[in-house]
Amino acid sequence: MIVPLAAGSAVDNAARIVAQQMSINMGQQIVIENQPGAAGLIGAERVAKAAPDGYTIGGFNDSIMTMLPNLHAEDAVGHPARTSSRCRWSPPSNGAWSSTTTAPYSSAADLIAAAKASPARSTTARAATAARSTSRWRCSRRSAGIS
């Protein structure tokens, strides 16, 4: 199973859980190979170009399947999202707004108000710049009136 993201990432951890159960069900060992780079495009391309012999599976997140083919259309020749003969899975992902326990916020409204007052102090962490979480973060900030 090729996981086009870093070892230890959420997708990698989910892939290892899935691979373990697949190994039990199939009676064969499933090997995870992490191939990060270019927000997942390098590993996804390896899956897309693999021989259609049933021995290669891709463990992808949603942004690799939905956003990369649109952001990198010229690079996405044979991209798994455009190739129906490949097997792949995509674990769900969620986002959250949070702050430290010592911050003076007692609600999401307090956190949003502080971000509006000082947008430069409001930061984010995300998997990659082409990830759905980045789009979600930008939409959330815009919806909340944070510049």
Q: What is the pLDDT of residues 6-63, one digit of tens each?
A: 999 888 998 999 899 989 988 999 999 999 988 888 888 888 888 878 788 888 877 7
Q: Is the pLDDT of residue 128 over 70?
A: no
- Considering the domain architecture, whether residues 68 and 139 belong to the same structural domain is answered as no
Q: How many CA atoms lie within 13 A of 129 on its CB side?
A: 4
Strand pairing partners for 89? 59
- Considering the domain architecture, whether residues 72 and 11 belong to the same structural domain is answered as yes
- Considering the domain architecture, whether residues 83 and 13 belong to the same structural domain is answered as yes
Amino acid (1-letter code) at residue 24: I
- Considering the domain architecture, whether residues 83 and 119 belong to the same structural domain is answered as no
* Domain span holding position 35: 2-89
Instruction: For residue 84, name the pLDDT band (cuts at 50, 70, 90).
Output: very low
- Considering the domain architecture, whether residues 117 and 141 belong to the same structural domain is answered as yes
The count of structural domains within the chain is 2
Which whole-number Å values give the CA distances from 46 to 43, 58, 65, 73, 99, in the listed order?
Answer: 5, 9, 14, 16, 38
Per the rule left: phi > 0, alpha: psi between -120 and 50, beta: everything else, 16 is alpha
Residue at a domain's end among 44, 74, 89: 89
